[in-house]
């Protein structure tokens, strides 16, 4: 699509843009790099080749996702505002970039697995990967979780200051105030309980005080899916779009409140993504070889370690 638009001229986009990043040949080059990486997948035989291909494809996939970060905004605009001029072209461009980027990341993950030679039954590198939900999360997962909490606290400090000075949004309407309270409660859960659940054991196994389910596994995607969605949305909307618009001078205001707000949202999103990465690894199903007592993968991993 972008190659066609470079040759014949770009169409009209919703809100006048498909991305905050330069168009033209930039998305064409990203698409070509992504296509080359995906077409080469499975055709290299050395570990070094798998690592190189994984790195190239991961860079291309991440770049496509970043370039197409307005896709969720387009979808929300379509749902709440209805179709507008340039909406089809914007959805095609951003949607194709986001989906293509995700597929590239999956290909990169597959090439990395081939490079590290994981256990054929569970995909772990035994001796280096967590074996069960009951293990302690790595330190970087706790760091990500508490960075997310700190980002939430920074954002809410601005809101608290507005409340104290009488600038609470929506205070003039009882209905809007009620909706705002519900929103703030959900926001607070997403800024405190969610990141901590991604790192702490009680987010993977129900604690004793949750009597009906104590000791059982927490549904994986209840926590992981929410963490990935919130983390990706905050990072894309505020960390990329918001920061870019602020730097470009598209909006202004007092420096410190804007820094706390935009920086807080960004840290919140990035921290959630970091903690979610650990949660994904720690909540994989147990290795069937370990349960059967036959662990060649474990021995291989321990020897490498």
- 294 pLDDT band, cuts 50/70/90, is very low
Domain boundaries, given as residue ranges, for the chain: 2-116, 139-285
Q: Which of 263, 220, 272 is nearest to 243 (CA)?
A: 263
Q: Higher pLDDT residue, 14 or 136?
A: 136
Residue pair 194/230 in contact (Cβ under 8 Å)? The answer is: yes
pLDDT tens digit string along 84-97?
A: 778 888 888 889 99
Overall pTM > 0.85: no
Q: Contact, 297 vs 287, CB < 8 A?
A: yes
- How far is C-alpha 287 from the chain's CA centre? 26
Predicted confidence at residue 29, as pLDDT, reads: 93
Give the pLDDT band (50/70/90) at residue 304.
very low
More confident residue, 7 or 125: 7
User: Which pLDDT does position 181 carry in this prediction?
Assistant: 80
From CA 304, how far away is CA 46, in angstroms rounded?
A: 17
- Phi first, then psi: give them for residue 205, nearest 5 degrees: -130, 125
The mean pLDDT value for 291-295 works out to 51
Note the pLDDT tens digit of each residue in 114-134: 888 777 777 777 777 788 898
């Amino acid at each position: 699509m972008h190659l066609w638009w470079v040759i014949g001229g770009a169409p009209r986009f919703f809100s006048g843009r498909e991305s905050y990043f330069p168009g033209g040949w930039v998305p064409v080059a990203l698409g070509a790099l992504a296509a080359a990486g995906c077409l080469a997948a499975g055709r290299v035989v050395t570990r070094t080749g798998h690592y190189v291909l994984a790195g190239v494809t991961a860079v291309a996939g991440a770049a496509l996702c970043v370039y197409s970060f307005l896709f969720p905004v387009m979808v929300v605009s379509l749902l709440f505002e209805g179709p507008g001029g340039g909406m089809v072209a914007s959805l095609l461009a951003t949607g194709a970039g986001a989906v293509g980027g995700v597929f590239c990341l999956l290909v990169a993950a597959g090439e990395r697995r081939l490079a590290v030679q994981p256990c054929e039954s569970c995909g772990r590198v035994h001796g280096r990967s967590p074996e069960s939900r009951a293990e302690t999360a790595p330190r970087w997962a706790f760091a990500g979780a508490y960075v997310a909490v700190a980002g939430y606290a920074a954002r809410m400090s601005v809101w608290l200051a507005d409340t104290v000075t009488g600038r609470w949004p929506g205070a003039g309407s009882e209905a809007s105030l009620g909706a705002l309270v519900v929103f703030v409660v959900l926001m607070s859960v997403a800024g405190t309980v969610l990141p901590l659940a991604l790192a702490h054991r009680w987010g993977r196994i129900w604690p004793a005080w949750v009597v009906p389910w104590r000791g059982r596994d927490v549904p994986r995607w209840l926590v992981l899916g929410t963490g990935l969605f919130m983390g990706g949305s905050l990072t894309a909307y505020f960390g990329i779009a918001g920061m870019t618009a602020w730097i470009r001078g598209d909006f202004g205001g007092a420096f410190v409140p804007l820094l706390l707000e935009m920086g807080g949202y960004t840290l919140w999103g990035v921290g959630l993504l970091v903690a979610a990465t650990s949660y994904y690894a720690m909540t994989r199903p147990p290795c069937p070889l370990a349960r059967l007592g036959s662990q060649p993968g474990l021995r291989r991993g321990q020897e490498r370690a």
